[in-house]
């Protein structure tokens, strides 16, 4: 045991030796110049030094000041090196270098000088820390800091904030800070402060106004109440917009899921019950892509768009050639056989991959949300899916309207016999259409993987909904599918708050059954001379 102190002192020497070049380096660091003045006994000088640190905008300022406030910023007696104590228990404290924040081993507390502060400095430091981020270079960070100040302003912060407002270029930051000050003034009972707050949707603003509306001062209470009513109105609008957004988002998923079904349904006249499983395949393709490209979820997702399309399209072709082609003109049998296929595909995934859900990573640029105002932010992944659905829709429209394949598909859909007579190879059209419809289902799966977990039952839930969309929109009409999908999504979301998710689904089902009473051919029926028989 007697060896230990010697060993430690040896270690210390080693540290010091290593520290020497570091110290030399530290002389060039402007941080050293900022910290040095703190090593004085005069509290007034320390105050100036703190000011200097704040003004410097140095990225390390927050950590220095926090350490200073906590008494953890200390100075090595011999070398003058500044360190931050990690844990001040025992005799030897682990420390980090105050400039590089790298581990600096352990130091005995006897070697260190604490930079002491008094109450005045403590107040100054607290205020400074509160407004410190307001000096950040990034506008986004400054806004964030300003928002954090709402409701947290006390008398000591008023002056520093005023100073910041004068020097701030960004209007949004200025507005937020004015609001923060206004809340303070409101709390002080100043009725005029309400004006600065009216229209804001911030929760802190609302709670301040709420408190003010119960104030004894009638003038203040009246002003606050009317401002609250104003805000409530805005909130209602926001909630409406949010419901609409979620509805459109759900609708866009329905459109993606239904549009492939609409295409295949139009051509083969029978419903492909394995359509949901094609969606599932698309989702699993995304998962597999991310397994192949670990660490690059964004790239993997982009690559899954063509990959998911191809995988599902290929599966679609296999289904068409293997099963459906033998069941031409027997839609009910097609339904049964493809249902069998869907069972097999589901079980295949369970056996080969896992019965458990797999989670697909959402790339950074798709996570987070887009803030429209303080009460309304749109999650980015849903926004992307909505956009993706519209792009897919537009692309399909182009394929159907502008390409030879689209023309042939429309011909076969309307009159198979005549199309054949005109020299269209119906078999080829069948295969291609089926591949197209299945591929779009794959795309739906890729999009869905960003919204829900990927599991063997993923697709099952979509087949009935998709078909409802097709029925609602009118068979063989892409526009109908779009409108029907989006409106069903919105209807679902509107119903949900007062009916509950399950009941909303039931209500929609009943609605569609009743809707077919009035419009048996959907919203946008394909008119034509009804064939006989």
Q: Which residues bind another protein (CB under 8 A)?
A: 269-271, 323, 326-327, 330-337, 339-344, 346-348, 350-351, 464, 467-468, 471, 502-503, 505-506, 509-510, 512-514, 516-517, 520, 527-530, 532-533
Nearer to another protein by Cβ, of 285 and 346: the residue is 346
Nearer to another protein by Cβ, of 245 and 467: the residue is 467
Nearer to another protein by Cβ, of 271 and 311: the residue is 271
Specify the residue for token string 């030897």.
92
Nearer to another protein by Cβ, of 3 and 502: the residue is 502
Specify the residue for token string 């009804």.
530
CB of 385 to another protein, least distance (A): 24
Nearer to another protein by Cβ, of 192 and 513: the residue is 513
Facing residues of 369 across strands?
Answer: 379
Contact 412, 398 (CB under 8 A): no
The span from the CA of 419 to the CA of 433, in Å, is 15
Task: Give residue 295's region: left, alpha or beta (phi > 0; psi -120 to 50).
Answer: left
According to DSSP, the β-strands at 82-85 and 376-379 are unpaired
Q: Count other Cβ atoms within 10 Å, centred on residue 102.
A: 8
With residue 248 as reference, give the H or E element that holds it: helix 218-268
CB of 325 to another protein, least distance (A): 10
Nearer to another protein by Cβ, of 192 and 348: the residue is 348
Contact 39, 113 (CB under 8 A): yes
Residues 6+ apart with CB under 8 A from 460: 276, 277, 342, 346
Nearer to another protein by Cβ, of 471 and 483: the residue is 471
CB of 440 to another protein, least distance (A): 19
Residues recorded for the chain: 533
CB of 264 to another protein, least distance (A): 12
The span from the CA of 158 to the CA of 209, in Å, is 19
The span from the CA of 308 to the CA of 310, in Å, is 5
CB of 229 to another protein, least distance (A): 35
CB of 496 to another protein, least distance (A): 13
Tokens matching residue 307: 């990959």
CB of 253 to another protein, least distance (A): 18
């Amino acid at each position: 045991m007697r060896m230990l102190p010697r060993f430690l002192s040896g270690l210390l020497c080693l540290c010091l030796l290593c520290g020497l070049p570091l110290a030399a380096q530290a002389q060039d660091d402007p941080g050293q110049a900022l910290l040095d003045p703190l090593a004085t006994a005069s509290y007034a000088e320390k105050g100036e030094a703190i000011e200097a640190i704040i003004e410097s905008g140095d990225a390390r300022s927050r950590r220095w000041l926090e350490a200073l406030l906590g008494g953890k910023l200390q100075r090595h007696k011999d070398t003058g090196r500044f360190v931050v104590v990690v844990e001040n228990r025992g005799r030897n404290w682990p420390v980090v270098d105050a400039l590089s924040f790298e581990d600096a081993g352990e130091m005995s507390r006897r070697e260190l000088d604490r930079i002491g502060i008094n109450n005045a400095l403590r107040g100054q430091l607290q205020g400074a820390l509160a407004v410190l981020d307001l000096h950040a270079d990034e506008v986004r960070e400054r806004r964030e800091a300003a928002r954090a100040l709402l409701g947290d302003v006390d008398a000591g912060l008023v002056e520093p904030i005023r100073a910041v407002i004068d020097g701030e270029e960004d209007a949004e930051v200025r507005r937020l800070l004015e609001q923060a000050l206004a809340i303070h003034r409101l709390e002080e009972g100043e009725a005029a402060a309400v004006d600065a707050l009216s229209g804001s949707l911030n929760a802190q603003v609302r709670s301040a106004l709420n408190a003010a509306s119960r104030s004894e001062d009638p003038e203040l209470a009246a002003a606050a109440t009317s401002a609250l009513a104003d805000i409530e109105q805005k909130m209602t609008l926001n909630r409406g917009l949010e419901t609409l957004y979620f509805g459109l988002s759900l609708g866009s998923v329905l459109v993606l899921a239904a549009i492939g079904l609409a295409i295949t349904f139009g051509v083969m006249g029978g419903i492909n019950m394995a359509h949901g499983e094609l969606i599932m395949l698309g989702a699993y393709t995304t998962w597999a892509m991310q397994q192949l490209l670990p660490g690059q979820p964004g790239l993997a997702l982009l690559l899954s768009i063509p990959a998911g399309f191809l995988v599902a399209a290929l599966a679609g072709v296999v289904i068409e050639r293997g099963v459906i082609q033998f069941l031409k003109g027997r839609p009910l049998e097609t339904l049964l056989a493809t249902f069998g296929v869907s069972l097999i595909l589901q079980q295949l995934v369970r056996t080969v991959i896992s019965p458990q859900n797999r989670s697909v990573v959402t790339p950074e640029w798709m996570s987070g949300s887009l803030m429209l105002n303080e009460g309304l932010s749109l999650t980015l992944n849903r926004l992307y899916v909505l956009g993706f659905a519209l792009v897919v829709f537009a692309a399909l429209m182009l394929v159907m309207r502008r390409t030879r394949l689209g023309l042939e598909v429309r011909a076969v859909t309307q009159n198979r016999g005549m199309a054949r007579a005109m020299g269209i190879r119906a078999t080829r059209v069948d295969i291609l259409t089926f591949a197209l419809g299945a591929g779009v289902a794959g795309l739906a799966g890729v999009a869905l993987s960003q919204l829900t977990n990927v599991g063997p039952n993923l697709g099952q839930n979509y087949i009935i909904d998709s078909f409802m969309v097709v029925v609602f929109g009118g068979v063989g009409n892409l526009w109908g599918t779009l409108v029907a999908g989006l409106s069903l999504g919105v209807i679902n979301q509107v119903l949900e708050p007062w009916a509950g998710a399950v009941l909303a689904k039931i209500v929609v089902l009943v609605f569609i059954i009743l809707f077919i009473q009035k419009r048996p051919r959907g919203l946008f029926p394909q008119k034509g001379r009804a064939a006989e028989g």
